[in-house]
Structure 1
Amino acid sequence: MRKKSVFRSEEMALCQLFLQSDTAYSCVAALGEIGLVQFRDLNSEINAFQRKFVDEIRRCEEMERKLNYLEKEIKKDSIPIYDKDENPKAPLPRQMVDLEATFEKLENELREVNKNAEALERSFLELTEIKHILHKTQIFFDEAEGFKPRQKIAKRDKQTLTSRGDENVTLLGDEAFKTEGQAIKLGFVAGVVLRERLSGFERMLWRVCHGNVLLRQAEIVNPLQDPSSGDKVFKNVFILFFQGDRLKSRVKKICEGFHATLYPCPESPTDRREMAMGVITRIEDLNTVMKQTQNHRHRVLVAVAKNIKNWSIKVRKIKAIYHTLNFFNLDVTQKCLIGECWVPVGDLEEIQSTLKQTTDQSGSNVPGILNQIETQEKPPTYNPTNKFTHGFQVLIDSYGVALYREINPNPYTIITFPFLFGVMFGDIGHGLIMVLFASWMVIYEKKIAKRKSLGEIAKIFFGGRYVILLMGLFSCHAGLIYNDIFSKSINIFGSYWKPNYTASEISTLLRNNKEIQLNPSTAYFWQYPYPFGIDPIWQVSRNKIYVHNSFKMKLSIIFGVAHMLFGLSLSFINFRFFKKKINIIFEFIPQILFFCVLFLYMVVLMFIKWIKYKATDDANEVAVSPRCAPYILITFINMMLFKDDGRVKAVECTESFYKGQYSIQIVFIAISVCCIPILLLGIPIYKTIQLRKLKKLKAKQLNDNDINNVENAVNGHEDGVEDEEKNYDPEHLPIGELFIHQTIHTIEFILGTISHTASYLRLWALSLAHAQLSEVLWTMVISKTIRTMGYAFFFIFGAWALLTISILVVMEGLSAFLHTLRLHWVEFQSKFYIGGGVLFRPLDFKKLIEESSDSDVKRKEPKKVLDK
């Protein structure tokens, strides 16, 4: 395995690939397994439906449809799909026929089983409804028969009926209706209707039949399964009594309109009992058949579940291969496929070896031919990554893909990104929470990666697990420097401050409610500072925020200037690599001088102040005492205004940091002013002069070699190296646009150095805000309740932990992450990074399968929500 480049993208080559028609499929399949070749579409002008392998792609899509149907049936029965974590090779074209036959057989078998199961379920539903109808109607009839004796109504007189209030009586045995001594024959129908339609069904019967129909209904307690949809539905049994064929016709039409199912019901009780016994027997037989059908379906789906994952991978590989073969051109003899592809130069040997090995396995005597060809096109950008560097590379590519062979910020971002995040987020406790969470994802990354049910947010966190891990570690590092853990300090070495008061003086000060002050001139133990970080005594000091403000503000400026200076240095590496001497002279040198004489000088003044001025207030050293130290911000402003420090000082104090400061600052301002016209006019004037020389040479009809040399000089080329940003036409060079572009670039840099330096103050602001929020949460939730709540402190601690994780770790961490991302995208990468390249997208089966799996999950998730 060759050593991959990490500092800039891989060198790419455009190659022409010749493959025999018989071995083209196998060669493309082998190249897809190694994932190092990006094929170009040579048939972009041809319609997708007119290409050579469109029929094979349609066959693959049909196989995908069948596999989706099988997968749907498997999930319907809640059968787990076995993932053997295998990567099967792409089947040969002749094996594609076997796969099609297998899928066709399984689909037909399942559809036949489903059709039979649906028919059985429909018959089972009908028999179940008939059983309930026979049972409920028998209850209706029994209730009515218990209402009067079974004798004919002619044997009882009308007076007796009237005394009982039975003027309208239904005789169930004879279905006769007695009114004023006359017996009337009644008809009836029985059936079932959905429970939610019953009220409308009853109202419609009343309105259409004018109250001449008697409705009796009862609920079916247990829900019934609809064979079509598989949903559980609730139904009611009803029986309707009416007189005459006209009412019968109306009743049936109403039942049909409300999708009520009517079933035959015998008039005789004996016939009903016999029919009920037959229905129960048929239901038992159907249960046996349905169980056997379900068992057969289950066995088929279990066998499919063991192989469907591998089948899906094979079909996707086949489809990708034929889709790639459509990029090739056929030669005149129709025996060879010709294609073009981008490949990394360092991997040419591996690709050629793969082609040779594949053709040998196929039994062909003519191996695939890979020829490197010259081109003026811009190659794609290929930055190899691993699971550790991938997360950082994604952050960079989100801003813009690097130009071909442009320096890659990834190796530097791996350190600077979590470091600046830690400066803003510095807390040992909160950083440790992030470390534990990221460590869990790193340790169990194989198990988590296999889960297909991860949500979008969970995938983002998992993809950036190493980024989160480093951010947590650097947060712990910054927390150690700040001596901050959940807004508290750790007293590791013991405070190096000691009181400079006697016991009697301390008691007097406390009795008079006066503050005790520690004088740095006499309070330091052994006159040494705290070994590492900030002394824990500052945690209980009332002026803690002022000290931390000054410390973190200066620190943010120092880190910001160093970060931007490093970005400018990387631009020099870019110019040198592309051999752009003109850009180094007229762009890099003025920029670095302008930046150093102003902002790096301000950082140097900070270190001079820290070194020169002491914390003691010795009468013999008044000039280096704290009250004589000049303000850096005032000094910088006066430097820009050509003024001395106008602050009133004691007689013993010096007015500057060092001798000759005013003169040196005037020189620095002069240098910075001189850099502006060089940045503004240097490159345009140089290219204008070179253009005039070119025109004179053409006028004198010099030889082509001299003209080519001048053309290279005009366009910023040295030694024939091509400019990757833009190829200017020497005869029609847009000088006006060049001046406008350079003016915008100069204004952006000059104003950007000021705004970008101020932008790094967010390191100070967010660090201070995070520390204050942590302290407020501890004070309001823990400190005020620890002495009063007793056993309830357990719940108070739970609330504090919940708020800490949700607000201080998640929300504050996300805020610090976004600010860090902004500092890298705008303040750092803008100094050297153009980001106008095209990403290298090779034929890689591994990535193809991962992207397909993610798209399948996204496509099925909305359906789950709708189903719920």
Structure 2
Amino acid sequence: MSDNFHDVTENSQGYRFFNTREPFSRHHSSHHWHRLNFDVLPKVANFSRRFIARVRENLANFGSAPAEEEELSIERARDGQDDRREHIDLSEIFSGENHNTQLQEASGILGGVFNLNFDKSLEGHHHFQSDHLDLDSSSQSTQDVIYLRDMSTTTSISEPILHQSAKINLTPPGKNPISSHQKKMSDKSDEISMFRSEPMKLYQMILVKEAAFECVAELGKHGNVQFIDLNAKLSLYSRSFVKQMRRCEEMERKLRFLEKQVITCKPGLDPKSIDFGDLSAPTQAEMIQLEHKLDQLEKEFLDLNNNDYALRRNLNSSREFLHVMKLVDEFFQVHKEEEAKARFERSATTDDIEMFSKSFGFGGLPSSNELPMTPLLGADDNAWFVAGVLPLDKKESFERVLWRACRRTAFVRTSDSHFLVNDPVTLEPLPKCVFIVFFKGESLRLIVEKVCDGFNATQYPCPKSSKDRKMKMSETEGRMNDLTVVIDTTQTHRYTILKDLSYELPIWLKNIQIQKSVFGVMNMFTVDTNGFLAGECWIPAAAEENVRQALHDGFKASGTEVEPILNELWTNAPPPTLHKTNKFTRVFQSIVDSYGVGQYREVNPAPYTIITFPFLFAIMFGDAAHGAILLLAGLFFIKNERKIEAKKIRDEIFNTFYGGRYIMMLMGLFSIYTGFLYNDAFAKSFNVFGSGWSNSYNETQLDWWIARAYRKKREFALELVPEKSFDYEKTYPFGVDPIWNIADNRLSFLNSMKMKASVVIGITQMTFGVFLSVLNHIHFKSYIDVITNFIPQVIFLSCIFIYLCIQIIVKWIFFNVNAGDILGYAYPGSHCAPSLLIGLINMFMFKKRNEGYYDQDGKVYRNCHLGYWYPNQRLVETVLISIAVACIPIMLLGKPLWVRFVTSKRHKLQETKSLKSIKRNGTTVSAPTSPVVETGPPRFTQEDAELLLADELDIGDDIHHSLTDIFVHQAIHTIEFVLGCVSHTASYLRLWALSLAHAQLSEVMWHMVLMQGIHSMDTIENKDVAFYLQPIVASISFLIFAILSLSILIMMEGLSAFLHALRLHWVEFQSKFYLGTGHPFHAFYLKESLENAQLITEETDRLADISRGQH
């Protein structure tokens, strides 16, 4: 539907709107067509009793002088035929005693979104009045806001509309309604979304039921829409399209069944991947055919599986029976049947038992003296043995249980060897063995059968004569050959079908997933009785045209006559947050989102994290050689992106490293940079530009020291005095002078440098975070936060911490070993360089100190490093501390007091408006409960404008809470900031600590592992042996050095530095400006649904491969 209703006289639903007083004219200057969006409900088709109740709860009295009453009517073309029209007078809809019933009857006519033609008169005011409802609006700039008043009540209500359900946007031609919330929360649509989230708009989408599937499917191709579930209170089984969802789930179940058949068949077939290029939705006719085909295939494979199971079971039974026959025949060939029967007919004696024990192999069974023996056979000739098979692992347990259950009156013989049968379901080979049990009597037979059943042993009847047994074995072998041929033929046919299915399954799975996803979204819509679906969705402002085009394409594909309607809605709900990323920025955005998704249009820390995160990591890592290895690893992953992604590796640890390939590359680059700054690579320095230090001792002095060291048998350290040994004109141009790598006091020097650098870098990043917060305050028009939060915070930081950074930098620049005048005081030398830490403590304690470095007698003060080191330092520090302390109550009380002032002012404006409204209507109030009858619509006065202005002021959610809650909330933030400045500054010292730890570990690895191994052969007197062993020992030492360096210094230390950098960004940096309490934008994207389905398929295939590998 077009937004400009000058060019539209009839919308796509067949509604024609006109003014009954004067025919519509395209060039009539006194008439304006307006687009009326009812945001109070997802669709106006539910414009019934609930709407009237909500309107009565949210009434207003904004208006003007009595306007000339309008007659409005609406026509609808029935069934799309212009010659058959219905005429409805809108004034009749809202009139009559039973107006609720009439409203329900009119719901089918109003449809959901409709246009009204208003006469424009009386200073730009529009007015429509009936017996029960009054719609009154005042034109203000480019947007009109309609306020509803219940005319059936007798009490004047002056409370302004503050609830979403009673506010309606009335937009002039060619204008789009923009809510006050969106005015505050939006910037230029072309702003780069990396710095702020994409501008979002809430839309109402109305679709005809016949075109809903095609439209939603078309939207799913692009992934630009996040739908809101309007049926959240309904169960999944109470929604409109639950039948379609169940059909899709049933088809998916059948498809997974077929997929399992493909994966588990032998020889194995790999399922093909889903084609994500084409996301076209299947037609309903195609899905019906697919459903029918899946039904047939499922039945066919169920029959095949059942037949295959039966055939394999028969084959297994035949194989088991054959082995039983062979063992029984072998047994009776050794022990003749007649002799065995005669032996059993005699009374059992001890000698007989021993003979049977030796004959049957019962070694290790209980002694015959433990239980009394009974004869095995009597006069009758009943069955006296059974034979069968049982699992091999149950063989010994079966013998023991049977022996004890029969009280030693039954004898068991099992085969020494075993044979394999395949499980008819899993085809897993199962080892089994044959057993024979000899017993006497019916009671023992029952006991033997129960024991066999308990051990899952299968019994087979055996012929008594050898001739019958051989005949049975011959028949069984023939039956087994026939079964094998049938099974092989069935498997060939089955494999042929499954091979064709392996190509069709991905296409079917894609169609089912698309169908299921689309119907899942359609279940979020509300459906009226006229076949219209109404839903709400969030759409990025930049994607609005794409969404409208997708809806139009879906409308064309559906072949219906009713076009989709997309209307922008007013809302107070916070929009979702969307940051567009690419493969480079995705990892940095993930780091930020792991802490918390940013609020809508909040400043995004990710662009700054791209630089600051690897830089802080590199400060802690600080080794050029290790950084080079890290860089090479990152470049390897980047270069082989396509190959790695094609392999679809699902290992979680590997994917973690692969996903961070770009941040790994940047961390390596920055580590190389900081390594050159520290002049550190594998704990060694490089003298590239030439050291500024030189040896000030002559050869005679050096020989004397060497001789003394030899006599004393200990080393001596020679001190290089800067006045004699350092050339200030040859200062090392970049990084640390390499002389410090061999100096004994290098740790003192490097620790001092790194500690101060950590403090400066940390305070700089925190200050930058505070300055980013002002961008949020200005963007959200929260100017009170600029005054009461940002400015005091910056002043507080400047008075203490930035002042400390200035002191550090000044000390680096001006103070050295040479005496002279520095900052107005005579400086005696490096032993009087100011102590910044103790000076900061004395600053807070207001401790009195000495001025300068010399007393009145010209002597250097004893603790000259603790005195004031520039003029008026005491006054400056006192003022700074006083200003910093004064900022605390401003941060604590400023905003709560302002909120209280604005709240009281708004209440006074409301009370003044109510009193003036009563006076304007000429009504006398005798009691607070007396009804007031209005004689006409009130004017929109200056007080109304002030009240609206006060309502539009952004004072946050605190207005809805008590003043105590506001004070507590602000107190928490103030205390957190003040204490956080101290604790966070100390927290940045981890940059120095981890850098020190990494450097020391690297030095230990170099000297104690690599160098120790290389020089280990120097003490061997036999030079020939040392010559041959030296390369071997050096290679082993280097191998150990490389392994320890990769595992400890790069992986473990790198992970530690990564986690600490993560902490510094999440807590120390982002806490200054980033709330992270938003919710992400989850677009409906068919590709994501298909990827999830593909993951399920690949996981099923992986588990099947593991199962095949185990067996």
Q: TM-score, normalised by structure 1?
A: 0.89
1:128 and 2:319 equivalent?
yes
Superimposed CA distance per residue, residues 310-333 of structure 1 (whole angstroms, 9 cap, x where no aligned partner): 332332221111011111122442
Aligned-residue offset at 1:601: 0.9
The counterpart of 2:201, out of the listed 7, 13, 17, is 13
Q: Does 1:689 align with 2:689?
A: no
Contiguous gaps of at least 5 residues in structure 1:
155-161, 171-177
Are the structure 2 counterparts of residues 857 and 726 from structure 1 closer, same or farther at C-alpha, using a change threshold of 3 Å? farther
Q: Is the 8 A contact 1:88 1:313 kept in 2?
A: no
Deviation at 1:853, TM superposition (A): 4.7
> How many Å separate the matches in 2 of 1:98 and 1:44?
33
Alignment partner, residue 629 of structure 1: 833
- With over 3 angstroms needed to count, the CA separation of the structure-2 counterparts of 1:132 and 1:607, relative to structure 1, is same
Answer yes or no: is 1:726 the counterpart of 2:930: no
Q: Contact conserved, 2:411 with 2:438, CA < 8 A, in 1?
A: yes
Check whether the contact 2:240–2:527 (CA below 8 A) recurs between aligned residues.
Answer: no
Equivalent residue, structure 1, for 2:1039 = 798
| Residues 760-769 or 189-198, more deviating | 189-198
Q: 1:829 aligns with which of 1054, 1065, 1070?
A: 1070
- Structure 2 Cα separation of the partners of residues 234 and 829 of structure 1: 65
Q: Contact conserved, 2:587 with 2:659, CA < 8 A, in 1?
A: yes
Alignment of 1:34-49 (within 5 A): 34-49=222-237
Do residues 92 (structure 1) and 280 (structure 2) align? no
Given that residues 402 and 448 in structure 2 are in contact (C-alpha distance below 8 angstroms), is that contact kept between their aligned partners in structure 1? yes
**Residues 1:288 and 1:624: Cα distance change in structure 2 (over 3 Å):** farther
SS in 2 for 1:602: helix
CA deviations 1:85-133 (Å, max 9, x no partner) are 5344222222211222232233222222222222221122112212222
Deviations 1:57-86 (A, max 9, x none): 001111221222223233323422222653
Q: Which amino acid aligns with 2:839?
A: T
Q: Look up the SS of the partner of 1:843 in the other structure.
A: coil
State whether structure 2 residue 453 is matched by structure 1 residue 259. Answer: no
The equivalent residue for 1:219 is 416
In the TM superposition, what are the counterparts of 1:590-739 in structure 2 within 5 Å? 590-616=792-818, 623=827, 625-645=829-849, 649=853, 651=858, 655-701=867-913, 720=952, 722=954, 725-726=956-957, 728=959, 734-739=962-967
Shift of 1:567: 0.5
Other-structure match for 1:57: 245
Q: 1:671: Cα distance to partner?
A: 1.6
Q: TM-score, normalised to structure 2's length?
A: 0.70
Question: Does the aligned pair in 2 maintain the 1:690–1:710 contact within 8 Å?
Answer: no
Q: How far off its partner does 1:858 sit?
A: 7.4
Q: How does 1:426-445 map to 2 (within 5 A)?
A: 426-445=622-641
Letter paired with 2:321: I
Counterpart residue number, 1:194: 391
Pick closer, same or farther for the CA change 1:145–1:629 going to 2, 3 Å.
same
1:288 aligns with 2:485: yes
Q: What displacement does 1:450 show? A: 4.9
Greater alpha carbon shift after TM alignment, 596-605 vs 473-482: 473-482
Shift of 1:691: 3.2
Pairing 1:94-493 to 2, within 5 Å after superposition: 94-144=285-335, 187-243=384-440, 247-334=444-531, 336-451=532-647, 454-493=650-689
Pairwise CA distance, 1:843: 0.7
Q: Find the partner of 1:848 among 1066, 1089, 1106.
A: 1089
1:612 Cα deviation (Å)?
1.0
Contact 1:634–1:645 (CA under 8 A) maintained in structure 2: no
Task: Report the alpha carbon displacement of residue 46 of structure 1 after superposing the two structures with TM.
Answer: 2.8
Deviations 1:240-262 (A, max 9, x none): 34456665555444433433212
Structure-2 separation of matches of 1:618 and 1:676? 41
Contact 1:88 1:314 in 2 (8 A): no
CA distance in 2, matches of 1:852, 1:454: 15
Cα separation, 2, equivalents of 1:168 and 1:801: 67
- The equivalent of 1:159 in structure 2 is none
Give the C-alpha shift of residue 630 in structure 1.
0.8
Sort the Cα spacing of 1:631 and 1:707 in 2 relative to 1 into closer, same or farther, 3 A.
farther
For the residues of structure 1 that align with 2:945 and 2:818, how far apart are their CA atoms? 67
8 Å contact from structure 2 (residues 852, 868) kept in 1: no
Is residue 958–residue 966 contact of structure 2 (8 Å, CA) maintained in 1? no
In structure 1, C-alpha distance between the alignment counterparts of 2:391 and 2:991, rounded to whole Å: 67
Kindly indicate whether the alpha-carbon contact (under 8 Å) linking 1:420 and 1:820 is maintained by their aligned counterparts in 2: yes
SS across alignment from 1:658: coil
Q: For 1:683-740, what per-residue CA distance to the aligned partner results, in whole angstroms no more than 9, with x for missing partners?
A: 222232333333444444368765566567767xxxx4655x42735xxx62222222
Quote the Cα distance in structure 2 between the aligned partners of 1:710 and 1:631. Answer: 58
Which among 689, 693, 696 is matched to residue 497 of structure 1? 693
**Bigger fraction of residues in helix:** 1
Paired residues of 1:608 and 1:657 also in contact (CA < 8 A) = no
Say which SS state the counterpart of residue 785 (structure 1) adopts.
Answer: helix
SS at match of 1:30: helix
Secondary structure of the equivalent of 1:83?
A: coil
Quote the offset at 1:230 in angstroms: 3.6
Displacement of 1:863: 9.8
Rounded Cα–Cα distance in structure 2 between residues aligned with 1:833 and 1:840: 18
Secondary structure of 2:959's partner? coil
Query: Structure 1 residues 309, 220: closer, same or farther in 2, change over 3 A?
Result: farther
Moved more, 554-563 or 500-509: 500-509
Residue 20 and residue 185 in structure 1: after superposition, are their counterparts in 2 closer, same or farther (change >3 A)? Answer: closer
Match of 2:1048 in 1: 807
In the alignment, is the contact (CA less than 8 A) between 1:497 and 1:523 conserved in 2? yes
Query: In the alignment, what sits opposite 2:776?
Result: 574
Cα deviation digits, residues 583-602 of structure 1 (max 9, x gap): 21222111101101211111
Whether contact under 8 Å (2:850, 2:868) holds in the other structure is: no
Bigger mean CA offset, 225-234 vs 348-357: 225-234
Counterpart secondary structure, 1:223: strand
Question: What is the root-mean-square deviation of aligned Cα atoms in Å?
Answer: 3.5
Report the equivalent of 1:768: 996
**Partner Cα distance (2:968, 2:696) in 1:** 67
Q: Matches of 1:337 and 1:184 in 2, distance apart? A: 84
Q: Distance in 2 between matches of 1:688 and 1:670?
A: 28
- One-letter amino acid of the structure 2 residue matched with residue 779 of structure 1: H
Deviations 1:463-493 (A, max 9, x none): 3332222222222221221122222223333
CA distance 1:47–1:254, shift in 2 (3 Å): closer
Match of 1:752 among 954, 958, 980: 980
C-alpha displacement at 1:208, in angstroms?
A: 4.6
CA positional deviation for 1:755 = 1.1
Corresponding residue SS for 2:957: coil
Q: What's the offset of the Cα at 1:4?
A: 4.5
CA distance in structure 2 between the partners assigned to 1:35 and 1:363 by the alignment: 23
Larger relative contact order (Cα-Cα within 8 Å, sequence gap ≥ 6): 1
- Secondary structure in 1 matching 2:537: strand
Given the superposition, is the C-alpha separation of residues 278 and 602 from structure 1 closer, same or farther in structure 2, using an over 3 Å criterion?
same
Q: Distance in 2 between matches of 1:680 and 1:185?
A: 103
Distance in 2, Cα, partners of 1:818 & 1:18: 49
How far the C-alpha of 1:227 sits from its partner, in A, is 1.9
Aligned-residue offset at 1:616:
4.4
Moved more, 196-205 or 770-779: 196-205
What amino acid sits opposite 1:612 in the alignment?
F
For 1:44 and 1:544, the matched residues in 2 are separated by: 67
Q: Deviations over 1:319-368 (max 9, x none)?
A: 1110111111224422x222111111121111112212232233344432
- Classify the secondary structure of the residue corresponding to 1:488: coil
Give the distance between the partners of 2:941 and 2:442, measured in 1 at CA: 110
Q: Which residue of 1 aligns with 2:53?
A: none
The 3-state SS of whatever aligns with 2:335 is helix
